[in-house]
Amino acid sequence: MEERHEKGHKFLGVDPHWFKDDSLTNALKPYASDFLMPIAQTPAETVNVLRFFIDEFKGRKEGRIPKPWQKITLLVDEVNALMDATTEEEKEIGDLLKFIARICGQEARNFLMGGIFISQQATNLAWLRKVALMVIVHQLLMESEKKLATNEDQEVMKAMKTWPIGRTYVYGVGFQDGPRTVQQPYFKPTVVEADPGTGYQPLLEPAHDDFSGTGNISFFPGREQKKETVSIPVLSLNPLPEQSEQANDRVLTNPDDKQFTIEQEAEFIRRYKACGSIKEVLSQMHLGYGRYQRCASRVVKERGLRRA
C-alpha cells in the first residue's frame, strides 16, 4: 500500500468487515484522501466500486479515456466471505471479482491499473491463485489451508508454525528462481486528514499530471463527512536472515549497523521500560539484533533507561 502510494496510485476499496477494530478500513485511515470513492461496505456499494473499476479499465482499453492515465489500485478484503453468495446481488459480486482478478492478472497493468485481493482463507480461491501475478501467504493455522496456500510445500508448512509477525511465503509468475520466504517491511504512512469511509479523492479533478480525466463516479449518500488527523508510526523491518544474540550478550560487530529513526527510538524506549531487555524489544519490533544492538545499547546508556 505504502509503495503504491509513493508511486502516485489512487485507490478503490471493498471491506465487508469494516466494523471490526482491525478492519482494512481502519488500517487505511492514513491514506483516506487517496481513495477515489468511499470504501464499499454494503453489497450495493461493492457492486458500484467494482463496476467503476471495470468501466475505467474498458474505457482505457477501448480508447475512450485518453492518456495520461491515473494509476489506480483496487483493494478487496475478505474475498472468501464475498464469494459466499446467498443473494443475486452477492452472486454478481462474485462474478465481478473473478472478471477483475483475470484482467488484473493478464492486462490491467498495461493500463496502469491493478488489484490487491486479501483473504483469511485459501479454500475455494483456486480461481484467484491461478491468475495472480504474486501470491503472499501469511501464517495459517489449519493444515488444509497451508497445503492450498503453499502448494503443499512441506518445509514451509512446518516452518510456518513458529513464524514471527510479518514472515511470509511469496511466489508467482515473476519469481523465476521459485518461491521464497521473506520478512515483510513495516512502512510509515503519510499523515492525512479524513476518514476512509467518507473522505475520498474524486476523479473530477486531476490528482496528478498523469490523471485519466474520468468523471463517472457514483457517490455513496447518507454518510456524514468528518475529518481527523491520523498519524501511525510504523517500524522498519530488516530482511532475512537476522543475527542471533551471543551467549555473553556482547555487541556484535557488523558493517551494516543501523540507527533508529525518531519513531523507532521512541518505540524502543517505551518497550524497554516495560521489559528491560534489548534483545526482547528488538525482537518485538522485528529489528535485527546484530544490526541494531549497538544503537540500542547507546540509547539505554545515554538515557539511563531502566525497567519501570
pLDDT at 157 over 90: yes
Residue 194: which pLDDT band, with cuts at 50, 70 and 90? very low
Three cell numbers written together for 291: 544490526
Helix (H) or strand (E) holding 230: strand 229-230
Q: What is the pLDDT of residues 168-180, one digit of tens each?
A: 999 887 777 889 9
The DSSP secondary-structure symbol of 160 reads G
How many Å apart are CA 80 and CA 200, to the nearest integer? 26
Average pLDDT (254-265) is: 71
For the ranges 41-55, 123-137, 198-212, 266-280, the maximum mean pLDDT occurs at 41-55
Predicted pLDDT at 172: 84
| Number of neighbours of residue 48 by Cβ within 10 angstroms | 19
Which parts of 7-42 fold into alpha helices (H)?
24-27
29 touches 39 (CB < 8 A):
no
Proportion of the chain above pLDDT 90, given as a percent: 43
Q: Between these two residues, 285 and 251, which has the higher pLDDT value?
A: 285
Better pLDDT: 172 or 118? 118
Q: What is the mean pLDDT of the chain?
A: 78
Confidence band (pLDDT; 50, 70, 90) for 265?
confident
Comparison of pLDDT for 5 and 213, the residue scoring more: 5
Among 9, 3, 108, which residue's Cα sits nearest to residue 53? 108
Q: 148-152, 219-223, 267-271: lowest mean pLDDT where?
A: 219-223
Per-residue confidence band for 229, with pLDDT thresholds at 50, 70 and 90 = very low
The domain locations on the chain are 2-230, 235-308
Q: Give the per-residue pLDDT at 186.
A: 66
Residue with more model confidence, 185 or 7? 7
Q: Which CATH superfamily is domain 2-230 in?
A: P-loop containing nucleotide triphosphate hydrolases (3.40.50.300)
Q: Is the pLDDT of residue 235 over 60?
A: no
pLDDT (0 to 100) of residue 204: 37
Mean pLDDT, rounded, for 151-167: 91
Average pLDDT over residues 61-78: 95
Which one has a higher pLDDT value, 74 or 256?
A: 74
Alpha carbon dihedral 97, 100, 101, 103, in 10-degree steps, equals 160
